[in-house]
Amino acid sequence: MRLLKLPLIAAFSVVTGSLILSGCSDPTAAPSPTDEAGSTTLMVSSANFPESEIIGNLYAEALKAKGYSVETKFNIGSREAYIPALADGSIDLIPDYTGNLLLFIDPAADVSSPESILSALPKALEDKGLSMFTPAAAEDKDAVVVTRATAEKWNLKTIEDLAAHNAEVTMAGPPEFKDRPVGLPGLEKNYGFVPSKFEPISDGGGPATVKALVDGKVTAANIFTTSTAIPANDLVVLEDPKNNFPAQQVVPVAAKDKVDEGAQQVIDAISAKLSTEELIKLNEQVSGEAKIEPKQAAITWLTDQDLLGK
């Protein structure tokens, strides 16, 4: 996801991110260099939105429980900020999303299927001096979402099914959805889906978009798959069999040779259990009514998944 995130926040975070980075790229402030005794302090980081911070906390807390020396520096900004930070050693480990990460490194990359992304990504990262671990099944990507009532009325399973009702469909999404290749142009090319009207709402698939969909002001909306609004409002995510939206699996990205094999196994064990449903639940705890601290939500989840055992 985050291809379609709030532009203002994006612009702002690039600025703040680079400010913070200019501070932490100071060599004296950088974490101590790797040594073979394994006494390295790992700097675990996250992008500037709650879900990333939750996953960053999962990594950090699990590593701590296994006896690793861990420091955290969360919310450092967008990809423009944290990829260079990984490369220069200011941070060592951060969660990212496969499709957008690949497109960030190589805008011309083939992202037409999850497999093509996963085969190209390791090489692309290596060229940048970075490495990735096993991606999780959890995926936070763009989706076309309708209400349960609409899905049942028209018997909808895929976006193609929705295209049969083009004339009756209005769609809400962030303004960029209208022009981005994966937005309306892609949906038209792949499925012949052309809504009769597009309603731009600049909250990145947030509450105003959800409200418009639930109130019936629009028939369909562009909402992210890990949005807590989907289970909360019993919304239906339409299948995307032609992969119009690039796969966005959660993937741990590390500075090369900074994270040893044991630590990698700890992280891989998290990825193995992290499904989209689990990620939605974690988001719900942090961003929903409960407002649990990301760190606390991470510890609870890791305990429940039996990942904190010594």
Give the binding range for other proteins (CB under 8 A) out of 53-61, 207-215, 243-251, 266-274: 207-215
User: Are residues 30 and 24 in contact, defined by beta-carbon separation less than 8 angstroms?
Assistant: yes
Residue 114 binds to other proteins (criterion: CB under 8 A): no
Q: Closer CB to other proteins, residue 45 or residue 209?
A: 209
CA nearest 101: which of 86, 117, 87?
A: 117
Q: What share of the chain is helix, strand, coil (3-state, %, to 5)?
A: 45, 15, 40
Write each residue from 7 to 36 as x if it is in contact with other proteins (CB under 8 A), else as -, in one continuous string: xx--x-------------------------
Binding mask of the shown chain, residues 130 to 169, with x at each position contacting other proteins by CB under 8 A: ----------------------------------------
Q: Establish if 242 lies at the interface with other proteins (CB under 8 A).
A: no
Helix H, strand E, coil C: the string for 8-53 is HHHHHHHHHHHHHHHHHCCCCCCCCCCCCCCCCEEEEECCCCHHHH
Which amino acid is located at 13 in the chain?
S
- The residue (of 31 and 174) whose beta carbon lies closer to other proteins is 174
Piece of 19-27, 129-137, 205-213, 251-259 that binds other proteins (CB under 8 A): 205-213
Burial class (CB in 10 A: 0-12, 13-18, 19+), 300: middle
Residues 247-266 within binding reach of other proteins (CB under 8 A): none
- In this chain, which stretch among 67-75, 92-100, 171-179, 226-234 interacts with other proteins, using CB under 8 A? 171-179
Strands (E), 122-264: 130-132, 142-147, 170-173, 197-200, 220-224, 235-237, 250-255
**Binding to other proteins by residue 215, rule CB under 8 A?**
yes
Element (H, E) at 114: helix 114-127
**Hey, which residues between 175 and 204 contact other proteins (CB under 8 A)?**
175-176, 178-180, 199-203
At 5, which helix (H) or strand (E)? none
In whole angstroms, the minimum distance from the beta carbon of 190 to other proteins comes to: 20
Label the pairing between strands 250-255 and 130-132. antiparallel
Task: Give min distance, CB of 114 to other proteins, in A.
Answer: 26
Q: CA 19, CA 17: separation in Å to the nearest integer?
A: 5
Segment near other proteins (CB under 8 A); pick from 39-47, 110-118, 206-214, 287-295: 206-214
Amino acid occupying residue 91? I
> Shortest Cβ distance from residue 134 to other proteins (Å)?
32
Minimum CB distance to other proteins smaller for 128 or for 180: 180
- Tell me the closest approach of the beta carbon of residue 268 to other proteins, in angstroms: 35
Structure tokens given for 269: 């064990």
CB of 281 to other proteins, least distance (A): 24
Binding piece for other proteins, criterion CB under 8 A, among 30-38, 43-51, 211-219, 295-303 = 211-219
What span, in angstroms and rounded, lies between the C-alpha atoms of 124 and 117? Answer: 10
Number of residues that bind other proteins (CB under 8 A): 21
**Beta pairing, strands 170-173 & 93-97:** unpaired
Among 67, 122, 207, 262, binds other proteins (CB under 8 A): 207
Distance (Å, rounded) from C-alpha 214 to C-alpha 282?
A: 23
Contact footprint for other proteins (CB under 8 A): 7-8, 11, 172, 174-176, 178-180, 199-203, 207-208, 211-212, 215, 217
